[in-house]
Amino acid sequence: MFYVTGLALVAGAVIGLATGGRLRFLGRHRLRAWWLVMVGFGLQLATDHLKVGGLGTAMVLAGAGALLAFAALNPTLVGIGVVAVGVAANALVIGLNDGMPVRPNSVVAAHIATRDEEPSLDYGYRHHAEGPSDKLRMLGDIIALPQFHEVVSFGDLILALGVAATIAHLLRPGARHAARDPPPDPTAARPSPPDPGGG
């Protein structure tokens, strides 16, 4: 997931810069509670690198909740709705299965492990090998990306698409919210021009 999200960040930046965007425009966008993004991804990263045990699923879902809260607070941000759909899809399957189910055949197809090695593969704290009791398995990690040695879900791909669109937009000039004088009323009465005769 994070490798694909990282590629989406790069792709969004390239698209944004190639279409006239500039890094200085980032500060022109008013994002509400932007720190929720840091919390959301931070909690999910922590489950991969810390021995959190049974708290892993709760931390992943809390991270997803933070990202969804950010999306709800910034509904006009381009791409954020797509991000929310991807996050929600992943959170749903993780919540129902106490972790993200990973299809063993996809692990082999992605060249992460051979068929003989797969049964002993360590899936980490927030993943597990897909089993017959898992629900919504089509939303699990079933898509093999052998070029990157990754297995991702449809939610991951949707999330990546949204992230790329959001980053590209953030590199474009933001709307200016400074108060401005209202435009003149064309129907308002105008003063009569002076009489050239001085009458």
Each of the 199 residues of the chain gets a pLDDT tens digit; together they read 677 888 999 999 999 999 888 888 887 888 999 999 999 989 988 887 777 767 888 999 999 999 999 999 999 999 999 999 999 999 999 999 999 999 999 999 999 999 999 999 988 778 899 999 999 999 999 999 999 899 999 999 999 999 999 999 999 886 543 333 345 555 555 555 555 555 4
pLDDT recorded at residue 131: 95
Length of the chain: 199
pLDDT recorded at residue 183: 52
Phi, psi of 100 (to 5 degrees): -85, 115
Q: The pTM is what?
A: 0.80
Centroid of chain to Cα 82: 8
- Cα dist from 104 to 92, 99, 140, 146, whole Å: 20, 15, 11, 14
101: left (phi over 0), alpha (psi -120 to 50) or beta: beta
